[in-house]
């Protein structure tokens, strides 16, 4: 049950959306920055607030799978099967757009991304509003996605009409995106809904999109996306410890994100912040962005991350970390 304060905020939020306002709201993945997907001026505000290039399409969020047909046409059976199995939940489907869907929403493409989130506040908001809500993650372009209302407040607080605080987002990384516009489904962005589960549900093989191999542009897969404001490197645990000690002995402040227990000698530990990460993918995903936000708030020089297991359930996390990785300074 939603408490009274949240109910009141939801009413305000619905009114704000209806009058072209911008509302930040929790979803099960990350906080979204929502606008009426049918209101061109409102959608344009999202791009201005995020500093996002205009050709990057937005996901339209709906409160009922029955609304799919308002936004997409030629909907394949696979889409209904995935909606039935995963919705409400962290899966976005790329479909052919219905005529009339704003080009600001689709980034000028003939396709549209659709998702029905499972967070109770998001669902209430969408159902109260009735239409589609275009919502990217509620962060400035290229920055770490928010999984707490305070992340949104710190980055965009004065630029949005309302932030609904729903506590921490349970999943923690953005939805899995699957493109259903050609015969073979293609996963364009991995997430907590795994590629193997999608394949099992559809009873067929699916592809994983690589840069340049798909007809659909996914600007969210720019290599530089999800960047913290300091260098980040991914290393196997042995090397991680050696590198942490080497860098800290040279006077650099190092943040560590490791699942393993680390043995760090005392002389170097003053320069090292150890952010222990959960050993299961669900827990890790949940903590990932919040940890990166915390580290960004301290004055570290770099982040070292313990390499992740290779199996399917870690792919969404590995994807976000790989994008955040860049070269360390040569100290």
Of 187 and 257, which has the nearer Cβ to ligand TXA?
Answer: 187
* Choice from 9, 27, 118, 241 touching ligand TXA (CB under 6 A): 27
Number of residues that bind ligand TXA (CB under 6 A): 28
* Choice from 39, 70, 78, 92 touching ligand TXA (CB under 6 A): 92
Q: Where are the alpha helices (DSSP H) in the chain?
A: 4-18, 40-50, 68-71, 77-86, 103-106, 120-129, 149-156, 195-202, 237-249, 266-269, 281-296, 315-324
* DSSP category for residue 203: T
* Choice from 6, 94, 230, 303 touching ligand TXA (CB under 6 A): 94
Q: Residues of 206-227 as b/e, b for ≥16 C-beta within 10 angstroms?
A: bbebeeeebebebebbeeebbb
Query: Of the ranges 173-181, 227-235, 258-266, 308-316, which one interacts with ligand TXA (CB under 6 A)?
Result: 173-181
> From the CB of 261, what's the least distance to ligand TXA, in Å?
32
- Two tokens, residue 271: 């320069």
Q: How far from chain centre, in Å, is Cα 28?
A: 10
Of 30 and 328, which has the nearer Cβ to ligand TXA?
Answer: 30
Identify what 49 binds: ligand TXA, Mg ion, none; CB under 5 to 8 Å per kind: none
Of 113 and 228, which has the nearer Cβ to ligand TXA?
Answer: 113
> From the CB of 97, what's the least distance to ligand TXA, in Å?
7
**Side-chain-facing half-sphere of 150: CA atoms under 13 Å:** 7
* Choice from 13, 35, 59, 290 touching ligand TXA (CB under 6 A): 59
Of 180 and 202, which has the nearer Cβ to ligand TXA?
Answer: 180
- Two tokens, residue 177: 């995106």
Of 190 and 291, which has the nearer Cβ to ligand TXA?
Answer: 190
Of 219 and 278, which has the nearer Cβ to ligand TXA?
Answer: 219
| 56 binding ligand TXA? (CB under 6 A) | yes
| 32 binding ligand TXA? (CB under 6 A) | yes
Identify which of 33, 271, 288 has the alpha carbon closest to the alpha carbon of residue 137. Answer: 33
| 218 binding ligand TXA? (CB under 6 A) | yes
Identify which of 130, 38, 117, 113 has the alpha carbon closest to the alpha carbon of residue 79. Answer: 113
| 214 binding ligand TXA? (CB under 6 A) | no
Identify which of 178, 223, 3 has the alpha carbon closest to the alpha carbon of residue 85. Answer: 178
| 113 binding ligand TXA? (CB under 6 A) | yes
> From the CB of 264, what's the least distance to Mg ion, in Å?
34
Of 6 and 135, which has the nearer Cβ to ligand TXA?
Answer: 135
Identify what 112 binds: Mg ion, ligand TXA, none; CB under 5 to 8 Å per kind: ligand TXA
**Side-chain-facing half-sphere of 80: CA atoms under 13 Å:** 7
What is the C-alpha separation between 61 and 46, in angstroms, rounded? 14
φ, ψ for residue 320, nearest 5 deg: -70, -40
Q: What residues make contact with ligand TXA under the rule CB under 6 A?
A: 27, 29-30, 32, 56-59, 90, 92, 94, 106, 109, 111-113, 115, 117, 135-137, 174-175, 177, 216, 218-220
């Amino acid at each position: 049950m939603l408490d009274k304060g949240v109910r009141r905020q939801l009413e305000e939020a619905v009114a704000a959306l209806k009058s072209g306002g911008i509302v930040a709201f929790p979803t099960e993945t990350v906080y979204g920055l929502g606008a009426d997907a049918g209101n061109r001026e409102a959608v344009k505000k999202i791009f201005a607030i995020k500093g996002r290039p205009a050709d990057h399409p937005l996901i339209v969020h709906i409160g009922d799978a029955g609304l799919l047909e308002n936004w997409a046409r030629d909907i394949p059976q696979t889409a209904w099967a995935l909606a039935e199995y995963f919705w409400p939940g962290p899966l976005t489907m790329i479909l052919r757009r219905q005529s009339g869907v704003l080009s600001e929403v689709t980034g000028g493409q003939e396709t549209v991304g659709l998702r029905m989130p499972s967070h109770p506040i998001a669902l209430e908001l969408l159902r109260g509003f009735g239409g589609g809500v275009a919502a990217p993650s509620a962060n400035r372009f290229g920055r770490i996605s928010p999984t707490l209302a305070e992340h949104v407040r710190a980055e965009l607080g004065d630029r949005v009409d309302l932030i609904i605080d729903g506590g921490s987002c349970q999943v923690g990384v953005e939805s899995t995106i699957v493109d259903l516009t050609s015969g073979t489904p293609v996963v364009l962005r991995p997430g907590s809904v795994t590629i193997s589960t999608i394949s099992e549900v559809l009873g067929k093989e699916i592809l994983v999109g690589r840069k340049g191999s798909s007809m659909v542009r996914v600007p969210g897969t720019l290599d530089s996306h999800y960047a913290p404001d300091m260098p980040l490197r991914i290393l196997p645990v042995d090397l991680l410890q050696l590198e942490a000690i080497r860098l800290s002995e040279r006077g650099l402040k190092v943040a560590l994100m490791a699942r393993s227990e680390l043995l760090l000698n005392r002389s170097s530990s003053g320069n090292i912040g150890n952010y222990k990460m959960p050993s299961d993918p669900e827990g890790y995903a949940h903590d990932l962005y919040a940890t990166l936000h915390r580290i960004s708030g301290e004055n570290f020089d770099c982040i070292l991350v313990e390499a992740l297991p290779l199996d399917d359930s870690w792919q969404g996390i590995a994807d976000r970390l790989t994008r955040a990785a860049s070269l360390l300074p040569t100290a």
